[in-house]
Amino acid sequence: METQVTMAMAAMEVRATGFVAIVERASKQPQDLIGKGTTIESAICHYFSTMSAVNHVWRRETFKGILIHIYSEGCYTMLRNPEFIGVLANMSFFGNKMVRSVDAWKKKGFTAEDQLKSFVKHCFAQYDVPEFMVNAFGEENKVHMLWYIQMGRGDSIKKLSGFPVAFTCKMAHEFRNTPSDMSVNKAIRRAQALGFGAEKQRAELIAWSALSDSFENEAFRTELVKFFATVKGEISLDVFQTVLEYVFYIRAQNAAFTMKGRTWDALLRQAVEWEREMLKRKAAESYNQWKPAAITNFYIEKEDEVFSIIQLTNSEAIYEEGYEMSHCVADYTDACAGGESAIFSLRKFTHENSDFERLATIEVDVVAKEIVQAQARYNEMISEKANEVIIKWAKQEGLSADYDFYVPVHNEPQPAIQLPQAAGNPPMQRQNYEPYRDAGFKETTSDRNIGYIIIAIMKILWLIAKCSQE
C-alpha cells in the first residue's frame, strides 16, 4: 500500500513538472501572433504571445505564477478550458492592482466556474462586488475589468472610470442586483430602465435589445430607454427590435429627431410600414424570377367561397408571402430558382369581398414530388379546411403529402340535466352512502359477516382468559 502511494505521488510530481515546463517555455516566447489552437499548451502560448516581452514584463510573470499556482491547487478542469485560461490572462493584465497574493488562494468550490469566481474575488475584491461582474474578465473590454477592481476596493458605481451612463442612486442599486448570467452592457441598460420606472420584464427586454450593443450617442439612447420603460402593454422582442431599427434609421437621416411628443402606437405603425417598404426595396434590388415547376395551380369553389392554390415564381411574391404570413419563406428563393423546391400559396376568396385571405404557404419537393411543408400564419398548424383543399390538389397532381397536421379534438358539450319541476320543495331523497374503497378491493356482504364472527370469537377468548385469572 505504501509503495502504491509513493508511486502515485511520483506520477503527480512528473505531471506537475511537465506542466511547469510548458508554462516556462511559453513564458519565454517573444511577442507574436499565435493562434489559440486546441491544446492546453497552444492556448497558454497564445496568451503569453499577446503580452509584451519588453514592456510590462511583470504581466508575463503574473500569468506564469497564476497558472502554476492554479495547477498546484488541483484545478485541472479550469486549466483544460482555453476560455478560462483567457480569463486568467486578463487577470494578469491587472497584476499590479491585486489586493492579495496569488499564492495565498486556496481552492474553493467543486466546479471550475466556482473556483474561478473565488480566485477573481480573492485577487481583486476587498468589498462585495456583484457576481455578474466576474463575466467582465471573460470579455475583451478591459474597462469593464477595471470596474470590477474599482468596485472591489470600495468605489461607488457612479464614480467608475469611463462609466457611460449617468446613474441615479436607484439605478446604482439595481445594477448591484443584476442577475449573475448577464453581461455588463446588458446590466447597465437593465438598471437604467428600472431606474426610469420600468417593470422587471420590460427592463430585461430593453437589456436584450439593440440598445445594449453600444453607448455611442448615449444622450439619445438614454432618451429611448426612458421612453420605452413606461410604454404600457406587452411588447415582444422582435417587434421592439423592428421599432428600434426604424428609430435608428430615422435618426441617421435626421440628427434632430427626438422622442418628444411620440407615442408607441404611432411609432409601431410607422415602423411596420417602414419595414414593409424596406422589404420591397430589397426584393426589387435582388429581384429573381424562375421557371415554374411542372405542377399546375388549383381552383375549387364551395358555396360562396373560392379556394385557390397558386405557385409563386419570383422573389417579390415570396417576400410578400413571408411578410403577410409572418414566417421565413423568403429563405427559399434560392431553392426555388434552382428547381429544388416550389412554393405555393393557398388563398380563400369570397363573393362578398374582393380581397383574399392567405390560409397556408406550401413547399413542394420538386424532385420527390412531395409536399414537405404546409404552414399557416406564424408557422402554426393549418386549418382542417386548408388541409382538405391541399389533399385534393395533391391527388390531382400526383403529389405525396408529408407535412405536419393533426385533426383537433372537439369535445362535444354534455347535455344539460333536466330537473323535474314541482310546485313545492320535494322531500330530499336520502341516498345510501358508502365510504370510498380502493378499486382493487371490493367488500361484499359475506366479507362483513366473517369480520363480525372474528370479532365475536376474540371477545369470547378474552372473557375466558379473564375468568381463568380469577
Q: Whole-model pTM?
A: 0.61
Residue 460 C-alpha from the chain's centroid: 75
Beta-strand pair 370-375/400-401: parallel
pLDDT for 349:
92
pLDDT for 40:
85
For residue 181, the tally of other CB atoms under 10 A from its CB is 9
pLDDT for 424:
44
Lowest mean pLDDT: which of 62-66, 144-148, 271-275, 460-464? Answer: 460-464
Give the confidence band of 285 by pLDDT, cuts at 50, 70, 90: confident
User: How much is the mean pLDDT over the chain?
Assistant: 85
- Give the span between the Cα atoms of 29 and 64, in whole angstroms: 12
pLDDT for 360:
96
* Strands (E) located in 339-380: 341-350, 353-365, 370-375
Per cent of the chain over pLDDT 90 is 63
pLDDT for 462:
61
Q: Are the beta carbons of 134 and 120 closer than 8 angstroms?
A: yes
- Give the span between the Cα atoms of 245 and 375, in whole angstroms: 28
The cell for 260 is 418628444
The strands making up 298-302's β-sheet, listed across from edge to edge, are: 298-302, 305-312, 341-350, 353-365, 370-375, 400-401
Q: Are the beta carbons of 98 and 72 closer than 8 angstroms?
A: no
- Residue 465 pLDDT more than 50? yes
pLDDT for 163:
96
- Give the span between the Cα atoms of 288 and 337, in whole angstroms: 8
Q: Are the beta carbons of 339 and 365 closer than 8 angstroms?
A: no
Count how many Cα atoms sit within 13 Å of the Cα of residue 429 in the half-sphere of its side chain.
1
For residue 352, the tally of other CB atoms under 10 A from its CB is 6
- Residue 468 pLDDT more than 70? no
pLDDT for 134:
95
Find, among 165, 253, 260, the residue nearest to 217 by Cα.
165
Q: Report the C-alpha dihedral over residues 319, 321, 325, 326, rounded to 10 degrees.
A: 0
Q: Are the beta carbons of 315 and 288 closer than 8 angstroms?
A: yes
> What is the chain's length?
470
Count how many Cα atoms sit within 13 Å of the Cα of residue 158 in the half-sphere of its side chain.
10
Backbone angles phi, psi at 347, to 5 degrees: -130, 150
Give the confidence band of 8 by pLDDT, cuts at 50, 70, 90: very low
H helix or E strand, kind and range, residue 143:
helix 142-152
Give the confidence band of 71 by pLDDT, cuts at 50, 70, 90: very high
- Residue 470 pLDDT more than 90? no
Average pLDDT over residues 198-214: 96
Lowest mean pLDDT: which of 27-31, 67-71, 211-215, 418-422? Answer: 418-422
Q: Are the beta carbons of 53 and 31 closer than 8 angstroms?
A: yes
Lowest mean pLDDT: which of 49-53, 140-144, 157-161? Answer: 49-53
Ranked by mean pLDDT, the top range of 67-71, 301-305, 315-319, 454-458 is 67-71
In order of 133, 394, 399, the CA distances from 403 in angstroms are: 47, 12, 12
Per cent of the chain over pLDDT 70 is 81
Ranked by mean pLDDT, the top range of 32-36, 270-274, 412-416, 430-434 is 270-274
Average pLDDT over residues 354-358: 87
Backbone angles phi, psi at 369, to 5 degrees: 55, 55
Tell me the residue type at 345: S
In order of 138, 242, 314, 317, 320, the CA distances from 284 in angstroms are: 43, 21, 11, 11, 12
- Give the span between the Cα atoms of 374 and 402, in whole angstroms: 9
For residue 401, the tally of other CB atoms under 10 A from its CB is 17
pLDDT for 411:
56
